[in-house]
Chains A and B, each alone.
Chain A
Amino acid sequence: MNEIIGNVFDIQRFSLHDGPGIRTTVFLKGCPLHCAWCHNPEGLRPEPQILFRPERCIGCGDCGICPNDAHSLKDGLHRFERSRCIGCGQCAEICPANALTLTGKSMRVTDVMALVRADARYYENDGGVTLSGGEPAMQPDFSHALLKSAKEEGFHTAVETSGCVDFERLRPLLPVTDLFLFDWKHSDAEQLMRYTGASLERIRANLLTLDRLGAQIILRCPIIPGVNDVREHFNGIIEIAKSLRGCQAIHLEPYHALGLSKAAQLGVKHSFTPSTPTAESMEEMRQNLSQCLAVPVMIS
């Protein structure tokens, strides 16, 4: 089982915001949603992709190794024809300047566990491993095997999910997951569909089922100015939180623009550029929600 292979695009050690304690967060590639504000655009597609940072390129031409001639140098300018790229990663392997890097790596459960274990001494009682993405439930076998291994070694396990998958993909994770970080991005079905492509019905149903089956849940609510910083959505958060038995906390996550540069490196055009909420407005939202809820509301 530990030979099962997953498609991982990042492993971030010393994570302080993806669950309790010190954590190692494993980011799985591939996501059913396409949120307009996506902050991990390299996690969207399941296949490996090349990130290109032209400002780092020194024009050495080593990337000429590409079997499909996706890279060309003309007048010192590096042109990357993404349509020719098959994501083999040979150019990234050879680029001396790290101007080309490959995102998405096939890893066995054992490979990931070796990295998770490296920080075991810092986890103590409450820290551990968090699966994020992308969408971990898109790779249910790998996620299950990884979480099971982590649990067997005594680590706390958490899964961050959009909830927008067939429940049968979430079900196997339930017994090996101590905490679900469940996204609640919008309470209006039409708006949610418009900005993320997700079905509110399916998400709501999955959330309620997880809760009914005894899952511990933290609701994670990205705050995107102009999209969901509206009273109706806050009422929606309150309503859904109240209907859950296992809801431990609400995390409000202010929008940040870090995804934009990564999107550019992936060659993805982005026209959606909301503003970043101010600390004061976030605190106001937090207090308003706090007044209506018994569980803690935090800004992360």
Chain B
Amino acid sequence: MKYDSSEDRICFSPAIEALHKATFARAKPNRVREGTRTGPDPDGKTPFLDAFERMPDAPYAVCLAHGIVDSWLESPIIIDPTDLLVGAPRPLRVLFEHFSWGIQYHEELFDDPAYAPQRESIQARIEKQANRLFPLTKEHIRSEGIKIFGSEELYDSLDSSLWWVGGYQGHTVPSYPELLKLGLSGTMAKIDRYRAEHPDAETLYDALEILLKGMSRWILLYAEESEKLASIDPQHAARYRLIAKNCRDISWNAPRTLFQAAQLAWFYALWDWVDCIGRADQFFYPFYSAEADPAVPFSREEIIQAFWLRGFEHGFHNITLSGVHSDGSDATNELTYLMLQTCRALHETHPRVSVRIHENSPEELLALVVRMWSEGMSDPTVVSDANVLKGLNRLNIPIEDARDYCMLGCQEIEIPGRSNWGCEDGSFNLAKIFELAANDGKCRKTGRQIGLKTGKLVDFHSIDELWDAYIAQMKFFTKHFIDLCNRGVEIRDANLSKLVKMLYTLPCIERGLNPDAGGPLYNPGVVETAGSSAVADSFTAIDTVVFRQHRMTMETLDKALAANFKGYERERLLLLNAPKFGNDHPLADQYCRRVLDAFWDEIALYRSKRGGPFTGACSLLEAGITYGKNTWAMPDGRYAGEPLGNSIGPRTGADHNGLTAMLNSVSSLPLDKGVGGTTLNVLLPAELLKSEPLRRDIAQVIRSYLMNGGQMAQITTASREEMLDAKVHPERHGDLIVRIGGFSIRFVELGETSQDEIIARYA
């Protein structure tokens, strides 16, 4: 078939159909990424603890590397007769390493029968090794925070009301092109070459060598197991022998065929926690377009689909397709379309897919994307090359590298294979800053003095005076926020949390530095914001109602806010009906620009501990709900505790001027200063996409938005009625996919607050 035609749909071959069925049978019903438990059940083992105990005098890096290797070698080798590509994750264990913080302690697993009987003995062993297992903990951030604010209680009260400091997941995209070019042996040669240049990094190189050789041994375990299966299961012997040979071929040497490349990529992805993999249609393409190995009985299409199904089963976070080559020409290829068609045929929430759109993107590409939305998928997210490249230029990233950017994490951005952007270093609630600025630095809920004494509402005689107070609070807290975020970097650095990623993050090996210590080429800091639209709408409402229309005094406003609008419904409605961001209204949009400019310019003055400047991001939804709970009533008419707006878009339900007006508002924002990734959730109810002319119109709107200042759009196509029914009858709507923050998610798996927030977007 022609992959680029929206009219044609892909049909799985019998081999892929069998694999598809087997994969779905294995997949756990709960597919929320962070809660995913795929792979084997907990097994009661403690490889990390064992490694540290076994080598009491060895450096942390070496023990960590051995722990990682052992944790894989001690995991079950699982091969199914339907498999084309093999490799299963490790069982969950009380201790495991993760790229976010280093070795993580999951005490809740002591409730699992595999660990329950050993609870006390393991706890005692961990306690004994704690200093070695966890060189730094989050206490490193907290103790600094308590020092700054002089009070434990005060500092803790800021957590998840004003900010969230020190980082989250810490996604980065390793260089799959480098992995596939060098294989493990080539990487070993590179380590040997640079080891001599950096004697101070000796233990780091030792650790990388342990990882590489350990990974190779683990891959051989798959070969051996497969050979064993071939000897006892004659019916599937051919398949098993093929898998065994493929594993042996790449267990040390670089891949030469697509089949080998896909297998090696999958093995490494597993060690990298099936994190984001970057531009898969680009790095697989040389193998895809090369001559096929006649000894391999699978087509190129089948191999790519087998890889995709692995990504589905274990939840690849983000795959980026299309975009441009380093010379700026269109990078869309046959693989782009094959991957999209595979994604379309699966109709799943994972792997999540982003498609880069630029001025020369083929019409067929966007047509296929819109067609997928029309069929009820929220993938792919579309991203604007024009806007992102402008933002990357601000960070002084050379254009050739900038053109290679990809999406990762929820909806963040980086240059794959040579970056650590923190992803993210923290998030910051601008609405809480506003609350403090409008109340002399006091929290309205607790009355506690948190911020600077910048005056009460009644002290301000112009909107500019209020603005100045807001800026003063924002600058004050930003300084401490950045400081604390950098403490998070110190933790990751000390804990070598990205040791596995370091193998393929350029030029860490060349520099002898780990990814949290400036090893990568690009090291900006990224911080998320929440509440930008709430703050903009609050300024707009006060400016309009108090200072322009003179329909309310600051005194009354102050009382109304203090009362959470109880007894002040008239005042609340006046504020609520003032212009709101998201309607192409000049005043409201201008305030939103100023709010974001102010914060993003401020953070750009600071540098990440990793070395690069800070840039903004905004792709929160759950955080908008959490922060909202801890933010008092606002002059935009919002009650205390209500959710703040979602991501970079308008306050939920505040845009009533149509999609184009909303897109105009958003694309007028300085999104290039938020090149960490600013998500916009766009509702396109299925009836807007039901016919070909309508889909063409929508494609045109989306393209115009992306070419004129918009950064990205992620789509929800569910209708309000469907969602309301899904709340009552979740069993009937298992396939309802919606978008929150950066996630595609099954509606029925969301909590009620999140469900209501999404439904309210339709109001």
Identify the 7 closest CB pairs spanning chains A and B, nearest first: A14-B658, A96-B573, A96-B574, A13-B658, A14-B660, A60-B570, A121-B704
Find the B residue at minimum CB distance from A115.
Answer: B584
> In the complex, A176 Cα to B700 Cα: how many Å?
25
> Do the beta carbons of A13 and B573 come within 8 Å of each other?
no
A160 and B708 CA atoms in complex are apart in Å by 31
Q: With an 8 A cutoff between CB atoms, is B659 at the interface?
A: yes
Measured in the bound complex, the distance between the Cα atoms of B688 and A21 in whole Å is 13
CA gap between A13 and B655 in the complex, in Å: 12
Report how far A12 CA is from B569 CA in the complex, Å.
30
- Contact residues of A with B, CB < 8 Å? 12-14, 16, 20-22, 58, 60, 62, 96-98, 118-119, 121-122, 124, 127
B18 at the interface (CB under 8 A from A): no
Residue contact B704 to A122, C-beta cutoff 8 Å: yes
Kindly report which residue of chain B lies nearest to residue A93, judged by CB atoms: B549
Whether B660 and A119, one on each chain, are in contact in the complex, defined by CB atoms closer than 8 angstroms, is yes
Contact with A along B681-701 (1 / 0, CB 8 A): 000000010000110010011
| Chain A residues with CB below 8 A from B700, complex form | 21-22, 122, 124, 127
- Contacts A12-B658, A22-B701, A121-B708 hold; do A58 and B573 have CB atoms under 8 A apart? yes
Report yes or no: A96 in contact with B577, Cβ–Cβ below 8 A.
yes
Chain B residues 618-666 with CB under 8 Å of chain A are 657-661, 664
Pair A124/B688 contact, Cβ less than 8 Å: no
A-B contact count (CB 8 A): 54
Which residues on A sit within 8 Å (CB–CB) of B707?
Answer: 121
Contact A58 B570 (CB under 8 A): yes
When distances are taken between beta carbons in the complex, the residues of chain B under 8 Å from A60 are: 570
Q: Which residues of B contact A13 (CB under 8 A)?
A: 584, 657-658, 660-661
Show 8 A/B contacts (Cβ-Cβ < 8 Å), sorted by A: A12-B658, A13-B657, A14-B701, A16-B694, A20-B693, A21-B697, A62-B570, A98-B577
| A16: B residues at CB distance < 8 A | 688, 694, 697
Q: Is the CB of B694 within 8 A of A22?
A: no
Cβ–Cβ contact A14 & B577, under 8 A: no
Per the bound structure, the CA–CA distance linking A119 and B657 in Å amounts to: 12
What distance in Å separates the Cβ of A6 from its nearest Cβ neighbour in chain B? 20
Asked if A122 and B660 sit within 8 Å, CB to CB, the answer is yes
In B698-751, the 8 Å CB interface with A consists of 700-701, 704, 707-708
Q: Please indicate which of the listed interface residues B569, B660, B708 has the most CB atoms of chain A within 10 Å of its own CB.
A: B660
Q: What CA separation (Å) do A21 and B660 show in the bound complex?
A: 13
Q: How far is the CA of A231 from the CA of B659 in the complex (A)?
A: 39
Chain B, 671-688, contact with A by CB distance < 8 Å: what is the 0/1 string?
Answer: 000000000000000001
Q: Are B577 and A119 in contact (CB under 8 A)?
A: no
Are the C-beta atoms of A58 and B569 separated by less than 8 Å? yes
Q: Separation in Å of the B584 CB from the closest CB of chain A?
A: 6
B694 touches A14 (CB 8 A): no
Residues of B within 8 A of A127 (CB): 697, 700
Asked if A118 meets B658 with Cβ closer than 8 Å, knowing A22-B700, A96-B573, A96-B574, the reply is: no
Whole-angstrom distance from the CB of A258 to the nearest CB of chain B?
A: 15
Across the interface, which residues of A come within 8 angstroms of B574, CB to CB? 96
* Cα-based distance from A96 to B549 in the complex (angstroms): 12
Determine whether the beta carbon of A122 is less than 8 Å from that of B701: yes
CA distance A96 to B693 in the complex (A): 41
Bitwise, B563-595 to A at CB < 8 A (1) or not (0) is: 000000111011001000000100000000000
Closest chain B residue to A97 by CB distance? B573
Assuming the contacts A21-B697, A124-B704, asked whether A118 and B661 have C-beta atoms less than 8 A apart, the reply is: yes
Q: In the assembly, what is the distance between CA of A275 and CA of B693, in Å?
A: 29
Q: In whole angstroms, what is the CA distance A12 to B656 when docked?
A: 10
B578 (CB) vs chain A CBs: closest residue: A96
Looking at A14, A20, A60, A98, which has the most chain B CB atoms within 10 Å of its CB?
A14
Q: Tell me the complex Cα distance, A13–B659, Å.
A: 8
Chain A, Cβ-Cβ closest to B584: A118
Q: Report A-chain residues with C-beta under 8 Å of the C-beta of B573.
A: 58, 96-98
A121 CA to B664 CA, complexed, in Å = 10
Q: How far is the CB of B292 from chain A (nearest CB, A)?
A: 42
A13-B658, A96-B577, A97-B573 known; A118+B697 contact, CB < 8 A: no
Residues of B within 8 A of A119 (CB): 660-661, 664
Q: In whole angstroms, what is the CA distance A12 to B660 when docked?
A: 11
- A16-B697, A121-B704 given; A22·B569 CB < 8 A: no
Interface residues in B393-447 (C-beta closer than 8 Å to A) = none
Q: How far is the CB of A62 from chain B (nearest CB, A)?
A: 8
CB distance from A257 to the nearest CB of B (A): 17
List chain B residues, Cβ under 8 A from A12: 658
Q: Of A13, A60, A62, A96, which is in contact with the most chain B CB atoms at under 10 Å from its CB?
A: A96
Distance, CA A193 to CA B88, complexed state (A): 75
